[in-house]
Amino acid sequence: MDFNKIRATCQQVKQITKHQNEIKKLLSEDFNIYSILGKEHMENNTHSNFIGELLNPQGSHYFDDTFLKMFLTEVGLTDTIDTLSTKVTIEKHIGYIDKNAKTGGRIDVFLEDKFGHSISIENKINAGDQEDQIQRYCNYNQGKNNVLYLTLWGEDAGDISRGKLKADCDYQLISYKDHILNWVEDCQKEAINKETVRSGLSHYIHLIKKLTNQNMEAGKEKELHELIKTNYLEARLMADHITAVEREETYKVFEEAQSRLKEKLKEDAEIGLSTWEEWHNSWHGMGILFKSGEYDIRLNVEGQSRIWQQYTIIGFAKSGNTGEAINYIAPNGFENTGFGNGAKSSNGWHVYKHFLGWDRHEERAKLFDPIERKNIIDYIVNSILELVEEFGDIKQR
């Protein structure tokens, strides 16, 4: 393999990237309301709410059922629901979860007309699949309900969610990359004479393109494709090693964080790190064991999937933390603690919140910038220290 050729190819890619950044500055494409407010990846508070508002015939856009009809056309569900009488509910409660009957739960975006026909949209950006989730939604309003599984790129639900159900037979896969982007762009064309609506749609279009890596100028995208074709073996070699490099660097970052935490906490806590072999497995990362009164408390930092390619969470897992211990450290819940209003709970966690966003390539890119890398380590260390000091018998150092 000719490494000089690889270096030359990298320089050409850098020029394309530089030009793309200049275009973005010229058009102010990075000025995005959702990005500025830190709302890019929030399934319900951002995406479900926005999509639901567009689908709502009584929505504040005042386009009646026009946008809903366009959506149904895009996903191939024309005439499956009476659009004028459709009501939209965000996080529709369909009963308490029954694991045996596979029923119940909350549907992210739920559409229902006066005849009882419904469309259920399960919206996945960061969240993992819940047990029997697709099966539970397919069992709701059977015979009159169409279930859509929405992800960034149109991936299928996991076995834990779908069971023996089959995509495009029992439920339908749709994506932000294609279906939602095409639909919102069509909505924007329809709203050409309503500046407020058109501008709002423009921000959302740029957000979708950012999340699905489609924000490159068409001419430069073609140039990049030609460059890859001309240097395919070199490009393939680099692509094959990118994930390995990301894995190495995220592990090194946590090793450095572990070292600093040990120095700060000394005998007050035990800092454990998953092995290098475990680093690519689900629910691995760092564990911090400390005392709070008579209880041993374990704080976990874990990746939902691969920690180096998924968003990371921090919290108190049910494994390793008794209910009595959790009640002791937070008798009134966690909202007014360091977990704040973003505190969540699940079958596996007493409480957790989103922590690192390494599911986004722009966040992983910071690992290779010395200043940004230091900021990441500082953030990990300081966040853990604050939580350990809040809930443990730790003196301020």
Q: Please write the tens of the pLDDT for every residue from 105-127.
A: 999 999 999 999 999 999 988 66
Cα separation, 326 vs 153, in Å, equals 38
CB atoms within 10 A of CB 356: 24
Could you tell me if residue 102 is left (phi over 0), alpha (psi between -120 and 50 degrees) or otherwise beta?
Answer: left
| pLDDT attached to residue 298 | 95
Residue 231 phi, psi dihedral angles, 5° rounding: -125, 45
| pLDDT attached to residue 240 | 81
| pLDDT attached to residue 217 | 56
90 touches 80 (CB < 8 A): no
| pLDDT attached to residue 396 | 47
| pLDDT attached to residue 3 | 60
| pLDDT attached to residue 394 | 67
Residue 302: its H or E element: strand 295-303
pLDDT in tens, 280-325: 888 889 999 999 999 999 999 998 777 877 778 899 999 989 999 9
| pLDDT attached to residue 397 | 43
Domain borders along the chain are: 3-29+217-230, 33-211, 242-391
| pLDDT attached to residue 190 | 93
pLDDT in tens, 2-43: 666 656 666 665 665 655 555 555 444 555 565 655 655 565
Transcribe 154-208 into DSSP letters: -PPPPHHHHTT--BTTTBEEEEIIIIIHHHHHHHHHHTTT-HHHHHHHHHHHHHH
Strand order in the sheet with 87-93: 87-93, 106-112, 118-123, 145-151, 172-175
Cα separation, 144 vs 81, in Å, equals 9
Mean pLDDT of successive 10-residue stretches along the chain, which has 397 residues = 62 60 53 57 75 94 95 95 96 92 94 96 82 94 95 89 92 94 94 89 87 67 75 78 89 96 92 90 91 94 82 90 92 88 85 85 87 95 94 68
CB atoms within 10 A of CB 50: 19
Residue 266 burial (10 A CB sphere; 0-12, 13-18, 19+): exposed
